[in-house]
């Protein structure tokens, strides 16, 4: 596999503030790579460094093996899709798409053919003569993608382009974008603060926090094996506790919480006895009214505080008897739990392998 983009120890400081700290990663050809992080984590700065609008303070950016240092955006083989798309309102759809080709001084007939081809490919055949304000949100999206893809860039950079769309359209565009990327085979680097966009579309996701990459992994691994507390909190929902390590038995750590409960959990780190830890359990890992198995299992009795109905994403909010942190428990909508009411006491539990703990 050839490497389309490799970022080597890129750092960007603005005065005293470091926006991007020593970030390194590579993206293979044809991959969909996402950078996921909260707003202000430096992901836009990183993307603009790759596009060439900002020069890194330290480190190198290589595109298909060529160092991009000092090369302006108009001479880099990457294209950027802006957050608000930045389609040119003074031009028609066809003129928008032809803009980059004209800059390359391509022949008029070739430009016309390429514009028609790319419009066909993004599912907008015959839209060339329309003006930008005649298009719907999803159509604008596709024109913006077509305008970049027609130039056949080595890497297509996308700066949260779905952010401005409404929920239903966003869900639809997510699937479409993924399909389109698989079809054209261009390398995509996508930045977003929406974990669902990153998880659904990407081959690999980097989770970024205050200028650093916390973890680069497949979406599934990020979800099931977070490497840092930040990733555990940020990707998907999680219930968090803190406690101290009591003992180690059969590969599981026994953890005592401040209120005197004992849980067993896994860790990818080597933990000292007596170390302070935080541990995480996903809402959907918690089983309501579990049967008595002989697997390593954590059990407790909780009081239901409220029922948050949200279709397939419904939740129970419950506190363990004896009160402490609130627990979020997934509530499957299979009619089995319809009898649950606020104030009920239920037994819940989770497999010890579903609980992950980290030092600190």
Partner 1 sequence: MQTDRTGKSLPFLMFVTPVLLWLFLLIVLPHIDLLLMSFRSEDDYGNMVWSLVNYINFFGEPIYWETFARTAIYAVLVTLITFAVSLPIAFYITKVASPRHSGFLSLLLLMPFWVSELVRVYGWMILLRESGVVNHFLVRFGLLQQPVEMLYNDITMVMGLVYTSMLFMVVPLISVLDSLDDSLIEAAYDLGGSIFSILPRIIIPHAMPGIVSGGIVVFMLTLGNYLTPNLIGGKNSLWFTEQIYNQFIASFNWNQGAAFGFLLLLLSSSIIWVGLKLTGQTLSRVAQ
> What's the residue count for the chain?
360
Binding partner 1 by CB under 8 A: which of 148, 199, 207, 281? 148
Starting at the earlier edge strand, list the strands of the sheet with 345-351: 287-288, 345-351, 297-308, 315-320, 327-330
> At its nearest, how many Å lie between partner 1 and the CB of residue 109?
19
Q: Does 30 bind partner 1 (CB under 8 A)?
A: no
> At its nearest, how many Å lie between partner 1 and the CB of residue 240?
38
Q: Does 91 bind partner 1 (CB under 8 A)?
A: yes
Q: Does 106 bind partner 1 (CB under 8 A)?
A: no
Run of H or E residues at 230? helix 229-234
User: 156 in the Ramachandran plot: left (φ > 0), alpha (ψ -120 to 50) or beta?
Assistant: beta
Run of H or E residues at 98? helix 93-103
Binding partner 1 by CB under 8 A: which of 73, 137, 246, 296? 73
- Under a CB-based contact definition with an 8 Å cutoff, are residues 218 and 257 in contact? no
> At its nearest, how many Å lie between partner 1 and the CB of residue 8?
22
Binding partner 1 by CB under 8 A: which of 80, 145, 201, 205? 80
Q: Does 46 bind partner 1 (CB under 8 A)?
A: no
> At its nearest, how many Å lie between partner 1 and the CB of residue 86?
4
Instruction: Give the contacts of 153 (CB within 8 A, at least 6 positions apart).
Output: 77, 78, 79, 186
Q: Does 135 bind partner 1 (CB under 8 A)?
A: no
Binding partner 1 by CB under 8 A: which of 55, 57, 59, 82? 82
Q: Which is nearer to partner 1, 25 or 99 (CB)?
A: 99
Show the binding pattern over residues 212-251: x = contacts partner 1 (CB under 8 A), - = does not.
Answer: ----------------------------------------
Run of H or E residues at 35? strand 32-36
User: 109 in the Ramachandran plot: left (φ > 0), alpha (ψ -120 to 50) or beta?
Assistant: alpha
Q: Does 72 bind partner 1 (CB under 8 A)?
A: yes
The whole-angstrom separation of Cα 231 and Cα 356 is: 12
> At its nearest, how many Å lie between partner 1 and the CB of residue 346?
52
Alpha helices, DSSP H only, in 185-240?
195-201, 219-224, 229-234
DSSP string, 48-78: HHHHTSS--SEEEEEETTEE-TT--GGGSSE
> At its nearest, how many Å lie between partner 1 and the CB of residue 56?
18
Binding partner 1 by CB under 8 A: which of 34, 79, 186, 239? 79
Binding site for partner 1 (CB under 8 A): 51-53, 72-75, 79-80, 82-84, 86-91, 99-100, 102-104, 147-148, 151
């Amino acid at each position: 596999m050839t490497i389309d983009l490799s970022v080597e120890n890129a750092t960007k400081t603005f005065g005293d503030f470091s926006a991007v700290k020593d970030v390194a990663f590579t993206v293979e050809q044809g991959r969909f790579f996402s950078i996921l992080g909260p707003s202000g984590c430096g992901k836009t700065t990183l993307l603009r460094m790759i596009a060439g609008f900002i020069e890194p303070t330290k480190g190198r950016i290589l595109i298909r093996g060529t160092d991009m240092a000092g090369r302006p955006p108009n001479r880099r083989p990457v294209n950027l899709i802006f957050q608000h798309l930045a389609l040119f309102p003074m031009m028609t759809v066809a003129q928008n798409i032809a803009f980059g080709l004209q800059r390359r001084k391509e022949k008029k007939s070739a430009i016309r053919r390429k514009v028609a081809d790319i419009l066909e490919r993004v599912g907008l055949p015959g839209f060339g003569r329309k003006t930008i304000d005649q298009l719907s949100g999803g159509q604008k999206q596709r024109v913006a993608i077509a305008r970049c893809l027609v130039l056949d860039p080595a890497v297509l950079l996308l700066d949260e382009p779905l952010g401005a769309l409404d929920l239903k359209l966003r869900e639809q565009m997510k699937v479409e974008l993924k399909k389109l990327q698989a079809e054209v085979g261009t390398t995509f680097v996508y930045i977003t603060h929406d974990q669902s966009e990153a998880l659904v579309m990407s081959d690999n996701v980097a989770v970024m926090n205050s200028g650093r990459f916390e973890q680069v992994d497949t979406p599934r691994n990020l979800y099931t094996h977070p490497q840092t507390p930040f990733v555990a909190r940020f990707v998907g929902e999680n219930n968090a506790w803190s406690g101290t390590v009591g003992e180690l038995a059969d590969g599981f750590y026994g953890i005592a919480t401040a209120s005197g409960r004992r849980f067993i959990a896994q860790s990818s780190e080597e933990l000292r006895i007596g170390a302070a830890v935080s541990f995480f359990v996903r809402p959907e890992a918690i089983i309501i009214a579990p049967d008595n198995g002989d697997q390593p299992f954590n059990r407790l009795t909780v009081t239901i505080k409220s029922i948050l109905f949200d279709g397939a994403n419904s939740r129970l909010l419950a506190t363990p008897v004896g009160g402490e942190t609130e627990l979020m428990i997934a509530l499957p909508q299979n009619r089995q739990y319809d009898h649950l009411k606020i104030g009920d006491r239920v037994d819940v539990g989770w497999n010890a392998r579903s609980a992950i703990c980290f030092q600190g």
